[in-house]
Chain A
Amino acid sequence: MTRSPRLLTLHALLAFAFLYLPIVILILYSFNGQGVGGFPPHDLTLNWYRILFNDAPIWDSVLNSLIVAAAAMFIALAFGIPAALALDRTQFPGKALFRRLVLLPLILPGIITGLSLLMLFRITDVKLSLLTIVLGHGTALISVATTEVFAGLQKLNRAQEEASLDLGATYWQTFWRITLPNLKLSIIGAALLIFTLSMDEIAVSFFLIGRDNTLPLEIWGRLRRGITPEINAVSTIIFLFSLIAIVLWYRLRTRAESTGDSCGVS
């Protein structure tokens, strides 16, 4: 179209500034010797990173978060992939309700998912631990796996599956050799997204936490006690990892879309 109106460009510029300014400041002050505020920043130092690397409770919580994220990813995919398949190719009574229910945690505030699960664990006498957080994250993130894989399925060319079945392969063989490989990019993308979201999740974990902290909850605990740029340092590292994961996810998704299109021609 035509040259962009100046006001609109200015608005976009300001919106980007608004989105990124806090992140830039956060990173900048992770090198600030004088604490989390104070303008201008001075006494630039790597000291906070040194303190961070020797901070055992933080690293314990990082390990916990990695375990939780991996396990949640497994649950979300193990149930999300079949859920997407079921939504794509079966009819059963209550299907509409099922779809809404699966997707609900995506739009509901985390407090509702967290509290309702807390009540379930209370009634069934399950002790709160990392396991309860895994169940919470896994269940909430089935929604992400389902939407990503369902999108992949929409672009899948079903003729290949039909051919495989016609040529005598079993459903099981067709699933492993044709369906799954065709969904590879969607599944990897979903896995990446689920892992990142679980690593960052706090609202559901808040209610399901036992004795061991995840990283966001460890940080949360420290925020309430008074803050040092060590928190900026750990936040900077989280930001960098999220950044890598998201850019990777985006690449995968655009690739999945373009390969999907080329299959869909026939």
Chain B
Amino acid sequence: MFSRAYRTLITMPPLLWVALFLLVPYLLMFCYSFWSVSDSGSIIHSWNLANYHDLLTKPVYWQTLLRSMWIAARVTSFSLLLGYPLAYFLSFYAGRKKDLYYQLVIIPLWVSYLVRAYAWKTILGSDGVLNTLLQYVHLTHHPLDFLLYSPFAVVLTLTHIYTPFTFLPIYASLEHIPSNLVEASQDLGATPAQTFWRVIFPLSIPGVLAGATFAFVLSLGDFLAPLLLGGPSGIMISNIVVSLFGAAYNWPLGAAISLCMLALVLSLLVFSERLEKKWSFQ
């Protein structure tokens, strides 16, 4: 029903914009990763694999990448452990208050990342709220210094930030379960546990996968929480990239690391999409 001119008019502008500001930059990142930087600090536009060679041979890079993945994995599991039962509670037991509770979960989702990371900094610091509270009630006599500037602080903060992200798709998948399936299971004599593990949980797996992917990918690439709360032991892979684009001034190497991250993230997205399809309820 739509004319050719109309279709061109709605397609071309976004297509061109996205090509210029998303596709070209990604391709540029790809090119940069094969270039190098001279001693005087200028970019040498000759193609070589030196950056990738560095990534594979210098342990600091893959060790930091592994540590980032480990932090992201912990954030993902904690977010799921917090988010899933919460979504389940809302979907099946919240009754008339469902709408209110739902808003209560999504409000933190959209509240400034920085505000929330900063809040945790004031709580966990050596003279922060938690340490002074513990001393006030005489549980400890000295500030616990592992609270701030540690991987623990990063995991805690990122879990706080990404729990609502994991909650959303899980909640959506639970809400889409036809209630007659659950009722049929109960009518046929299944115990609540059986109904959950045999009917509800398998049907919510696509939501779990989507939520887990969100939490893992976004926390893997985070560099602000580690800068703010991580200390030397909480450095993540993106922090290395930030320093390579800043003081260390080696954009090509930074681009190579970013590209590896991008490849990792994209393959995860494709993988989880496949799994979601496999588990989705027709």
The interface of chain B, by Cβ under 8 A from chain A, is 1-3, 5-7, 9-11, 13-15, 17-18, 21-26, 28-29, 32, 82-83, 85-86, 88-90, 92-93, 99, 101, 103-108, 110-116, 118-123, 125, 127-129, 131-133, 135-136, 160, 163-164, 182, 213-214, 217-218, 220-224, 228, 238, 241-242, 245, 251, 254-255, 258, 261-262, 265, 269
Contacts and interface: CB of A to CB of B under 8 A. Distances in A.
A238 B107 contact: no
A150 to B, nearest CB: 12
Interface string A74-116: 0000111011011001101000001001101101111110011
A200 B119 contact: no
Contacts of B82: 15, 18
Nearest to A202: B114
A261 B164 CA distance: 27
Given A9-B93, A82-B13, A107-B269, A19 B108 contact: yes
A117 interface: yes
A227 B10 CA distance: 48
Contacts of B122: 25-26, 29, 36-37, 227, 232
A178 interface: no
B6 A23 contact: no
Interface stretch (A51-59, A182-190, A242-250): A242-250
Interface of A: 1, 4-5, 8-9, 11-12, 15-16, 18-20, 22-23, 25-26, 29, 35-40, 78-80, 82-83, 85-86, 89-90, 92, 98, 101-102, 104-105, 107-112, 115-120, 123, 135, 139, 142, 158, 161-162, 165, 171, 175, 193, 196-197, 199-200, 202-203, 206-207, 216, 219-220, 223, 227, 231-232, 235, 238-239, 242-243, 245-247, 250, 254
A98 B15 contact: yes
Contacts of B228: 223
A19 B281 CA distance: 31
A119 B32 contact: yes
Contact of B6 (A171, A219, A254): A171
Contacts of B29: 112, 115-116, 119
A250 B109 CA distance: 13
A120 to B, nearest CB: 5
B14 A108 contact: no
Contact of A8 (B18, B89, B110): B89
A108 B2 contact: no
A39 B133 contact: yes
